[in-house]
A and B are shown apart, each in its own frame.
Chain A
Amino acid sequence: MPRPFHPEGAGQLSVTPSESVRRGAERELEMLESLLALGGLVLLRDSVEWEGRSLLKALIKKSAAWLVYHDLFRDPLNWSKTGEALPEGPLGALRAMCRRTNPGPVTIALDSLSWLLLHLPCTTLCQTLHALSHQDSCPGNSTPVEPVHVLGLLHEELHGPGPVGALSSLAQAEVTLSGAMGQASAHILYRRPRQRPTHQTQWFSILPDFSLDLQRGPPLELQRHADPHTPPVDPTTQLTFNLHLSKEEKEAKDSLTLPFQFSSEKQQALLRPGPSQATSRIFYEPDAYDDLDQEDPDDDLDV
């Protein structure tokens, strides 16, 4: 029997004997509760650098007391033709899940949606996911059915913005994985019906037994970098030569006019050459052997 799961958090959480009550357990359950409380699709977006499979496993571990594993890994495309593989492959398996009869709460984890997106048309996948997560509105079903939670892992870099956007619009919650300094973080976007979307950023790490360890904030080094009180290191302190200027040197430097700087004084001086201006002139006195011929000043024309 799947463990009863009350999404409103009315205090009816049953804890199996194998779990020990830890201080962080409350906050952990809070994050997971909010992720799994909404029926529908929870999209886990990961990247090459920050992988999301561990988080998916942690979520599976938390949300399910009874796990059914559909092995579509070994032969998804029916290459072995032994008859062991499911007919119609993964899509057939998903469609079969749409027609469930068990009214209890069900969590379906898909590893990964990227595989399905690469092999199936985007529209088919979106329709199947929609049918999966909205089973409570099945016609002809008189008893109210607990919502289906679908956890899908999506590798962001593999797909264009179109398919990713389509899946994102189907999702009730999106968890984007990133991190800094070796510490992973999840940016969660909730889309609750009839409410504004809300954001939450949670730093976490996954322990070897796939339980979540939530951190309060970004890692210590990141916080330290943002601290404005640490003085920057002065690079001019330990040199063998002098980079500083004395007071007189500074004054002389500031009062120096650059030769090619065109200031207004220089402009005035050039426009009105006054008698105080010492213009340079050439004084030339030809001696006896000089023959100044204007038409041949260098005396090299062979005329």
Chain B
Amino acid sequence: FSLWSGSIWRGKLTLLCDAKTDGSFLVHHFLSFYLKANCKVCFVALIQSFSHYNIVGQKLGVSLTTARERGQLVFLEGLKSSVDVFFRSQEEPHPLQFLREANTGNLQPLFEFVREALKPGDNAEAAWRCPVLLVDDLSVLLSLGVGAVAVLDFIHYCRATVCCELKGNIVTLVHDSGDAEDEENDVLLNGLSHQSHLILRAEGLATGFCRDVHGQLRILWRRPSQLTAQRDRSLTYQYKIQDKSVSFFAKGMSPAVL
């Protein structure tokens, strides 16, 4: 995990994925991590309200309100601004414009919003380190009627701008429907997996719910680089979510069972 704090980890797409469990703890972790690392963060938060992320962030040691006020955090609160779409005139572009269109075309307005938020400013706010785009989450866009290919195109353009041009990072969460046979979601998940450099997959334990081990985290490095030897491509840890942190341990080595 110290891998991400180095300056070599830039221009990468990290895919968070959860199957039969809730992987949002990873989103909170990355949000607080990048804010503490003094990066400029654009957070497209479609699932929860700002205060929810703020409360969890405070437990992890960051204040989202402060970060937003001083311009480090650009926060798109999906729940609130989705209502604004309908009370605006149609000419004004809105990031969530697709909610209003009958045939959901593409997510270009959302991409324009992200690009505008993360473009380097001309004044001395170059104090921020690399820009970061965080999306929570992409699966909900499918539920809102956007096609999987449109979401993949959105991430493609974000990668071109945020990762390649601005040398920043993208972290996004997608749910794995598992047996539910959601074809669109599978195309989205697989398409994103192929575009990612690192995949973190939180899974529930195969044997069911457990009080002391909340789940299992699989780490897969997709693009071999100088950082990873061929053997270290894939790792598995088990974890337990606590109030202010998450503790990780090797499989079967939970302190509760030893």
Residues of A within 8 A of B (CB): 46, 48-49, 51, 53-54, 73-77, 79, 112, 114, 118-119, 155, 157-158, 182-183, 205-206, 208
A158 touches B160 (CB 8 A): no
- Could you say which of B22-30, B138-146, B226-234 contacts chain A? B226-234
Which residues of B sit under 8 angstroms from A77, Cβ to Cβ?
106, 153, 157
Within 8 A of A (CB), among B167-201: 186-187, 190-191, 193-194, 199
> Is the contact region of chain B dominated by helix, strand, or loop, or is it mixed?
helix
Which residues of B sit under 8 angstroms from A75, Cβ to Cβ?
157, 160
Residue B21 lies at the interface, judged by CB distance under 8 Å to chain A: no
Residue B219 lies at the interface, judged by CB distance under 8 Å to chain A: no
A sample of 16 more A-B contacts (CB under 8 A), given A53-B223, A208-B226, is: A46-B194, A48-B194, A48-B199, A51-B194, A51-B222, A76-B156, A77-B153, A79-B106, A79-B108, A118-B187, A118-B191, A155-B190, A155-B191, A158-B187, A182-B231, A205-B230
Which residues of B sit under 8 angstroms from A205, Cβ to Cβ?
230
Residue B113 lies at the interface, judged by CB distance under 8 Å to chain A: no
Residue B149 lies at the interface, judged by CB distance under 8 Å to chain A: yes
> A155-B190, A158-B194 in contact; A118/B223 too (CB < 8 A)?
no
Residue B111 lies at the interface, judged by CB distance under 8 Å to chain A: yes
In the bound assembly, the distance between CA atoms of A143 and B186 in angstroms comes to: 48
CB closest residue in chain B, given A49:
B220
A182 touches B194 (CB 8 A): no
Residue B93 lies at the interface, judged by CB distance under 8 Å to chain A: no
CB closest residue in chain B, given A76:
B156
Residues of B within 8 A of A (CB): 106, 108, 111, 149, 152-153, 156-157, 160, 164, 186-187, 190-191, 193-194, 199, 220, 222-224, 226, 230-231, 233-234
Looking at A46, A48, A74, A114, the one whose CB has the most chain B CB atoms below 10 A away is A48
In the bound assembly, the distance between CA atoms of A49 and B218 in angstroms comes to: 12
Which residues of A sit under 8 angstroms from B153, Cβ to Cβ?
77
B170–chain A nearest beta-carbon distance, Å: 15
Which residues of A sit under 8 angstroms from B190, Cβ to Cβ?
48, 155, 157-158
In the bound assembly, the distance between CA atoms of A48 and B234 in angstroms comes to: 12
14 A-B pairs with CB atoms under 8 Å apart are A46-B194, A48-B193, A48-B194, A48-B222, A49-B234, A51-B223, A75-B160, A77-B106, A155-B190, A158-B190, A182-B230, A182-B231, A182-B233, A208-B226
In the bound assembly, the distance between CA atoms of A49 and B223 in angstroms comes to: 10
A79 touches B111 (CB 8 A): yes
Which residues of A sit under 8 angstroms from B223, Cβ to Cβ?
51, 53-54
A206 touches B152 (CB 8 A): no
Which residues of A sit under 8 angstroms from B164, Cβ to Cβ?
73-74
Which residues of B sit under 8 angstroms from A157, Cβ to Cβ?
186, 190
Which residues of B sit under 8 angstroms from A73, Cβ to Cβ?
156, 160, 164
Which residues of A sit under 8 angstroms from B152, Cβ to Cβ?
118
In the bound assembly, the distance between CA atoms of A158 and B193 in angstroms comes to: 10
B172–chain A nearest beta-carbon distance, Å: 16
Looking at A46, A54, A73, A206, the one whose CB has the most chain B CB atoms below 10 A away is A73
CB closest residue in chain A, given B157:
A79
Which residues of A sit under 8 angstroms from B224, Cβ to Cβ?
54, 206
In the bound assembly, the distance between CA atoms of A46 and B222 in angstroms comes to: 12
A33–chain B nearest beta-carbon distance, Å: 25
In the bound assembly, the distance between CA atoms of A48 and B191 in angstroms comes to: 9
B69–chain A nearest beta-carbon distance, Å: 32
In the bound assembly, the distance between CA atoms of A51 and B234 in angstroms comes to: 13
B191 touches A158 (CB 8 A): yes
In the bound assembly, the distance between CA atoms of A119 and B108 in angstroms comes to: 16
CB closest residue in chain A, given B191:
A158
CB closest residue in chain A, given B149:
A118
Which residues of B sit under 8 angstroms from A49, Cβ to Cβ?
220, 234
CB closest residue in chain A, given B188:
A158
In the bound assembly, the distance between CA atoms of A53 and B196 in angstroms comes to: 12
B224–chain A nearest beta-carbon distance, Å: 7
A159–chain B nearest beta-carbon distance, Å: 9
B192–chain A nearest beta-carbon distance, Å: 10
B194 touches A155 (CB 8 A): yes
Which residues of A sit under 8 angstroms from B156, Cβ to Cβ?
73, 76
In the bound assembly, the distance between CA atoms of A205 and B187 in angstroms comes to: 28
Which residues of B sit under 8 angstroms from A76, Cβ to Cβ?
156
B230 touches A183 (CB 8 A): yes
B120–chain A nearest beta-carbon distance, Å: 17
A41–chain B nearest beta-carbon distance, Å: 20
In the bound assembly, the distance between CA atoms of A179 and B223 in angstroms comes to: 15
CB closest residue in chain B, given A207:
B224
In the bound assembly, the distance between CA atoms of A51 and B153 in angstroms comes to: 20
